[in-house]
């Protein structure tokens, strides 16, 4: 709960936050991401079948991310740290929250700028530049893979995120369709009496949850409204 007189603000962000920075989302195209079938580039089966394709796909994503810049939603969430004890739980694999100034971020689905060992998942490395290629190995000599949680894989930080959601004095959901589980279930962990703000132009269905405040706007417009509401 609140630390001293600073309330605990927990924010769950999805692809809609990064979309306004030009980062593609596959929400609008069923099963496709930048023209690729999701199972080809974001599943263990795709990795086994064609690791070269998978590595090339994420290399392109890193190049695109290098050109992207944080938007107003990212920077306003960072400014909220002046007033609240803020934790960002993000489904996004980009680093725009970090570059926007937020300091306490949990990446549920991994990080595009990192690689990990295929022999031991605890061995995680920063990627220098934008490329990870066949022949790039960990200290054990095993091929490195993108540090991304693919479809069908466990979400290692889910329990941590759930514990944080249970402590939320205020919970905010921005730019997520709330259909990708288990992340979408985090709102059910939030205390019943805590206000829950949902920001999205296409309001997701969240079922019978108390204290919902809906802001049907884009991530940047909605986060500006949220900021004004919370600070006033």
Residues recognised as catalytic:
109
The answer to whether the CB of 160 falls within 8 A of the CB of 88 is: no
The torsion region of residue 44 among left (phi > 0), alpha (psi -120 to 50) and beta comes to alpha
Helix (H, G, I), strand (E, B) or coil at 99: helix
Residues 6+ apart with CB under 8 A from 62: 112, 113, 127, 130, 131
Q: Within 10 A of 54 (CB to CB), how many other CB atoms are there?
A: 23
Peptide bond into 160 cis (omega under 30): no
């Amino acid at each position: 709960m609140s630390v001293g007189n600073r309330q605990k603000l927990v924010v769950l962000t999805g692809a809609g936050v990064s979309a306004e920075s030009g980062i593609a989302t596959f929400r609008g195209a069923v099963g496709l991401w930048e023209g690729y079938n999701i199972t080809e580039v974001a599943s263990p089966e795709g990795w086994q079948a064609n690791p070269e394709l998978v590595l090339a796909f994420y290399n392109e994503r890193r190049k695109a991310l290098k050109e992207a810049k944080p938007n107003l939603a990212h920077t306003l969430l960072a400014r909220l740290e002046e007033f609240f004890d803020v934790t960002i739980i993000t489904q996004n694999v980009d680093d725009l929250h970090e570059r926007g100034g937020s300091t306490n971020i949990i990446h549920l689905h991994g990080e595009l700028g990192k690689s990990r060992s295929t022999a031991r998942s605890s061995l995680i490395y920063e990627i220098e530049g934008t490329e990870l290629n066949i022949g790039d190995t960990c200290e054990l000599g095993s091929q490195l893979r993108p540090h991304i949680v693919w479809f069908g894989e466990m979400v290692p930080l889910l329990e941590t995120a759930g514990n944080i959601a249970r402590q939320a004095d205020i919970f905010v959901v921005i730019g997520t369709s709330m259909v990708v589980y288990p992340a979408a279930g985090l709102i059910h962990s939030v205390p019943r009496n805590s206000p829950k703000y949902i920001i999205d132009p296409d309001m997701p269905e969240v079922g019978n949850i108390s204290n919902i405040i809906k802001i049907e706007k884009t991530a940047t417009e909605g986060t500006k409204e949220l900021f004004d509401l919370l600070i006033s």
